[in-house]
Amino acid sequence: MNSPYRCGYIALVGRPNVGKSTLLNKLLGFKLSITSRKPQTTRHRILGIKTKETAQLVFVDTPGIHKGGSRALQQHLNRAARSILQDMNVIVLLVEAMHWNEEDELALEACKQADCPVILAINKIDTVKEKDALLPYIDELTEKYEFDCIVPISAKNNQQLESLENEIEKRLPKSEPFYSADQVTDRSASFVAAEMIREKLVRLLGDELPYETTVEIEKFEDTNKLLKIYAVIWVERDNQKAIVIGKQGARLKQIGQQAREELESFFDKKVYLQTWVKIKKGWSDSERALQQLGYKDEF
């Protein structure tokens, strides 16, 4: 007798920079969510769909839950991360091996408010030199909450990810798939393009990158042989614009070149990418500007 098909939504939750986007990409088997070492790289609800013979797993990568933040953008990210949890079938709380702080506590408190199974995934176990130290750490976390199960993993090195996926799958409700087998996300191609460009900004500029930076696609033209993308990089001040452009436009050219190469790989066709840097004063602290730039409350 065949087991019933299962389908459901799985939220990946945790503090900033704990590895949620890396985990999503590894579970899907391709890169969908952008990654970097800079906290709060993920700013939107990213939905990734994995369809198998036995189940359809609909993963939701959330912005990192973080302490404080008075700007409208920071408040939006916290609000988005928490609101998503109310409609999930399973939550994966991702924490870092041997590190627990106040923001992990905030993420756990958010999970406690949801009415669904919570799996604790302890990430970056490859960085723990004394493996014996991991057991007391796990014992300490079991005192904090009655998790459905605990799975130590390394998302970066693909360790224990199959075990984590199996634990998730068996907790999903019996259901027909929500999406067609060939669909991998609910996001538009222009959204994916904007995120890929923003990733190059984050990675190439590092600590120089102004927090008040975002990318908007003004035009997205898809022909049989060529993809034409016209993108605006928004900043808030003149000096931020100078940082992004770089000396004689070198930085912007490098950002565009690396983004174009990744876009061509993702869409499997030639890409023409044109980028501009423009100033929109105070956008990151304006609810209206956030709405205009695509930062809408989701789920």
pLDDT of residue 250: 92
Q: Which of 10, 3, 82, 18 shows the shortest CA–CA distance to 49?
A: 10
For range 179-200, the mean pLDDT: 86
pLDDT of residue 153: 97
Higher pLDDT, 202 or 102: 102
Question: Residue with structure tokens 């408040």?
Answer: 75
Least confident of 5-19, 62-76, 190-204, 266-280: 62-76
Residue 293 reports pLDDT greater than 60: no
Question: Residue with structure tokens 């009415």?
Answer: 115
Residue 296 reports pLDDT greater than 90: no
Q: How far apart (Å, rounded) are the C-alpha atoms in residues 142 and 220?
A: 49
Q: How far apart (Å, rounded) are the C-alpha atoms in residues 206 and 185?
A: 28
Q: Which of 209, 193, 206 shows the shortest CA–CA distance to 244?
A: 209
**Highest-scoring range by mean pLDDT, 11-20, 159-168, 248-257:** 159-168
Q: What is the largest CA-CA distance in the chain?
A: 67
pLDDT of residue 299: 38
For range 41-70, the mean pLDDT: 74
For range 180-207, the mean pLDDT: 83
pLDDT of residue 76: 45
Single-letter amino acid code for the residue at 163: S
**Chain-centre distance for alpha carbon 138:** 25
Q: What percent of the chain has pLDDT over 70?
A: 80
Q: Which of 98, 141, 99 shows the shortest CA–CA distance to 118?
A: 141
Domains and CATH numbers, the chain: 6-169 (3.40.50.300), 189-292 (3.30.300.20)
pLDDT of residue 89: 95
pLDDT of residue 298: 45
pLDDT band for position 16 (cuts 50, 70, 90): confident
For range 76-96, the mean pLDDT: 76
Residue 180 neighbours by CB under 8 Å, 6+ apart = none
Q: Do the Cβ atoms of 31 and 75 come closer than 8 Å?
A: no
Q: What percent of the chain has pLDDT over 90?
A: 45
Residue 128 reports pLDDT greater than 60: yes
Q: How far apart (Å, rounded) are the C-alpha atoms in residues 16 and 37?
A: 10
For range 251-269, the mean pLDDT: 91
Q: How far apart (Å, rounded) are the C-alpha atoms in residues 19 and 233?
A: 26
Distances 295 to 190, 196, 247 between C-alpha atoms, Å? 15, 16, 31
HSE-up (13 A, CA, CB side) for residue 256: 21
Q: For the stretch 5-20, what's the b/e string if a residue is b when 16 or more beta carbons lie within 10 angstroms of its beta carbon? A: ebbbbbbbbbbbbbbb
Distances 165 to 26, 96, 232, 247, 296 between C-alpha atoms, Å? 11, 18, 38, 47, 30
pLDDT band for position 225 (cuts 50, 70, 90): confident
Question: Residue with structure tokens 């993920």?
Answer: 42
Q: How far apart (Å, rounded) are the C-alpha atoms in residues 274 and 257?
A: 10
pLDDT of residue 106: 85
For range 211-215, the mean pLDDT: 71
Single-letter amino acid code for the residue at 183: Q
